[in-house]
Amino acid sequence: MTDLLTRDEYKALATKLTLPVNAFIDGSYRPAQSGKTFSSVNPATGETLADIAACGSEDVDFAVIKAREAFEDGRWSKLPPGDRKDVLIRFAKLITRNRRELAVMESLDSGKTIFDCETVDVPETIHCLKWHAEAIDKIYDQVSPASDDHIAMIVREPVGVVGLVLPWNFPLLMLAWKIGPALAAGCSVIVKPAEETSLTALRLAELAMEAGIPRGVFNVVPGTGPEVGEPLGRHMDVDMVSFTGSTETGRRFLHYAADSNLKEVVLEMGGKNPSVVLRDAENLDRVAAHVVNGAFWNMGENCSASSRLIVEEEIKDALMERILAHAREWTLGDPLDPEHRVGALVSSAHFQKVCSYLETDADVLMGGKSHDGAYVEPTVLEVDASSALAREEIFGPVLSVLTVRGFDEAIAMANATDYGLAASIFTSNTKKALRGARAIRAGTVTVNCFGEGDITTPFGGYKQSGFGGRDNSLSAHDQYTQLKTIWVDLSDDEDEAVG
């Protein structure tokens, strides 16, 4: 268990941080070639934390040239996997050594609670990097069952230069989900952090270098979506892009790829994830704790947040009473106070978006209020199935409640969305649990709990939540490798061998 500091100790630490402000390309920090900067703001206070290099297409071009040089000369891509493993484990150890600084930086930049940064974001980042590092020298190539006259090897090769376009809701952890398998596979990466949260990615680049990842292999190019994300997506010498963010922006990357070099694209996007609670669910208090955690954890700024509660009418009142009781335990306030479980939303723009959903005729069962400093109270609303609150991803601490009659209506309601990232089903009936888990069209379905699985299980979405691959587990390695067949003739007769 992480030893937490007091609020005053975190505040003191925050004043001592040295914040990275420049892009990291080819092993060193550099300002944007244009000399432009943009402000990174602490959403909890509105104060500017740092003026970060506002990169553009010329910086992307330079990073791609350096990443390509590194990839082609093999300084990383051709190292034995066991050597890459050693370096990546050293990298994870350096993050561990700097974990407190990174947790505070992450909290200041994103509004996330220091409690979550210390207990989830930073430790899970370390675990993810170690897991992929440990895996890479245990993955074998294959020999096909071809005829005796041939031997056909199926080998995995790193895909090349990859662009990693990140969201702001888990700046460190989403970085780890992508660089873990990409670097382990031998790729060179160009990370484009969300403009709201560039700090920890920039700091990690320096730690990666210190750990021994060669220059040019790990580059971070901060800037806006149109100025950095788009040139990366359209670049003719980028082999693959892995993106996490909104479905709208994800769709753009498919256009960029189609209009340029048909680079591979993997998209992990939004969700409007249901928690289905059937009338035979056991221990409603426990169910309520899971539903509340799923809805309000990380301020609901989570693509797999369980933002829709679908409950059978027979148990609705009993469940709602417990949900409201649990929701009251989610204390809101200063993210640097380790007692708080709900911090600030990431930016004033996102705060305005979430607040616009609270101007509603829906029945407000709890919360519904906002406070200066981008704070939104955990909110529970009874909604109409056709309303925006029931259909759209809000990405805030807002739980929309829908009442149904029977199993079939519950499953139909769960599937009544363009998204398909995650879902939960609560029931004591095993058959219904498994029938429901199969019938719900989502990448992850949890039974009698809310969760996303862990590093050992694939994470990604059906329908408009996902495209082209999965994060986490060994499946993530498929994103960053491609298969090559090497076909060898073994026959004695040289004539037969020709053609």
Ligand X SMILES: NC(=O)C1=CN([C@@H]2O[C@H](COP(=O)(O)OP(=O)(O)OC[C@H]3O[C@@H](n4cnc5c(N)ncnc54)[C@H](O)[C@@H]3O)[C@@H](O)[C@H]2O)C=CC1
Q: How many residues bind ligand BAL (CB under 6 A)?
A: 9
Looking at 169, 197, 249, 465, which residue binds ligand BAL (CB under 6 A)? Answer: 169
Q: Which does 468 bind (CB under 5 to 8 A by kind): ligand BAL, ligand X, none?
A: none
Determine, following the binding rule CB under 6 A, whether residue 120 of this chain makes contact with ligand BAL.
no
Q: Which does 452 bind (CB under 5 to 8 A by kind): ligand BAL, ligand X, none?
A: ligand BAL
Region binding ligand X by CB under 6 A among candidate stretches 192-200, 378-386, 468-476, 477-485: 192-200
The residue (of 173 and 380) whose beta carbon lies closer to ligand X is 173
Give the tokens for residue 261.
């070099």
H-helix segments, 278-361: 284-296, 313-327, 348-358
Give the tokens for residue 296.
């309000």
Active-site residue identified among 268, 301, 312, 377: 268
How far apart, in whole angstroms, are the C-alpha atoms of residue 318 and residue 365? 14
The residue (of 279 and 350) whose beta carbon lies closer to ligand X is 350
Q: How far is the CB of 225 from ligand X (least distance, A)?
A: 2
Residue pair 294/260 in contact (Cβ under 8 Å)? The answer is: no
How far apart, in whole angstroms, are the C-alpha atoms of residue 28 and residue 56? 17
How far apart, in whole angstroms, are the C-alpha atoms of residue 499 and residue 486? 16
Strand-pairing partners, residue 370, are: 376
Q: How far is the CB of 94 from ligand BAL (least distance, A)?
A: 24
User: Three-state SS across 180-218?
Assistant: HHHHHHCCEEEEECCCCCCHHHHHHHHHHHHHCCCCCCE
Amino acid at 477: H
Residue 438 CA, chain-centre distance (Å), reads 24
494 is known as an active-site residue? no
How far apart, in whole angstroms, are the C-alpha atoms of residue 95 and residue 106? 13
Q: How far is the CB of 415 from ligand X (least distance, A)?
A: 19
Q: Using alpha carbons, select from 135, 131, 134, 106 the residue that is nearest to residue 120.
A: 106
Q: Using alpha carbons, select from 49, 169, 194 the residue that is nearest to residue 110.
A: 169
How far apart, in whole angstroms, are the C-alpha atoms of residue 277 and residue 424? 8
Q: Which does 230 bind (CB under 5 to 8 A by kind): ligand X, ligand BAL, none?
A: ligand X
Q: Which does 249 bind (CB under 5 to 8 A by kind): ligand X, ligand BAL, none?
A: ligand X
How far apart, in whole angstroms, are the C-alpha atoms of residue 75 and residue 215? 9
Give the tokens for residue 182.
């990409």
Restricting to residues 198-227, name those near ligand X by CB under 6 A: 224-226
Strand-pairing partners, residue 220, are: 24, 191
Restricting to residues 233-272, name those near ligand BAL by CB under 6 A: 244
The residue (of 32 and 129) whose beta carbon lies closer to ligand BAL is 129
How far apart, in whole angstroms, are the C-alpha atoms of residue 480 and residue 147? 30
Determine, following the binding rule CB under 6 A, whether residue 467 of this chain makes contact with ligand BAL.
no
Residue pair 238/161 in contact (Cβ under 8 Å)? The answer is: yes
Residue pair 309/402 in contact (Cβ under 8 Å)? The answer is: yes
The CA-based angle 285-289-291, given to 5 degrees, is 115
Determine, following the binding rule CB under 6 A, whether residue 125 of this chain makes contact with ligand BAL.
no
How far apart, in whole angstroms, are the C-alpha atoms of residue 374 and residue 349? 9
Q: How far is the CB of 244 from ligand BAL (least distance, A)?
A: 5
Restricting to residues 406-465, name those near ligand BAL by CB under 6 A: 452
Q: How far is the CB of 462 from ligand X (least distance, A)?
A: 14
Region binding ligand X by CB under 6 A among candidate stretches 80-88, 245-253, 292-300, 399-407: 245-253
Region binding ligand X by CB under 6 A among candidate stretches 126-134, 190-198, 367-375, 474-482: 190-198
Region binding ligand X by CB under 6 A among candidate stretches 18-26, 127-135, 160-168, 314-322: 160-168
Determine, following the binding rule CB under 6 A, whether residue 170 of this chain makes contact with ligand BAL.
yes
Looking at 303, 362, 389, 398, which residue binds ligand BAL (CB under 6 A)? Answer: 303
Determine, following the binding rule CB under 6 A, whether residue 252 of this chain makes contact with ligand X.
yes
How far apart, in whole angstroms, are the C-alpha atoms of residue 350 and residue 334? 18
Q: How far is the CB of 452 from ligand BAL (least distance, A)?
A: 6
Q: How far is the CB of 109 from ligand BAL (least distance, A)?
A: 16
Residues noted as catalytic? 268
* Site residues, ligand BAL (CB under 6 A): 167, 169-170, 174, 244, 302-304, 452
Which residues in this chain contact ligand X in the complex, by CB under 6 A?
165-169, 192, 194-195, 224-226, 229-230, 233, 244-246, 249, 252, 269-270, 303, 350, 353, 393, 395
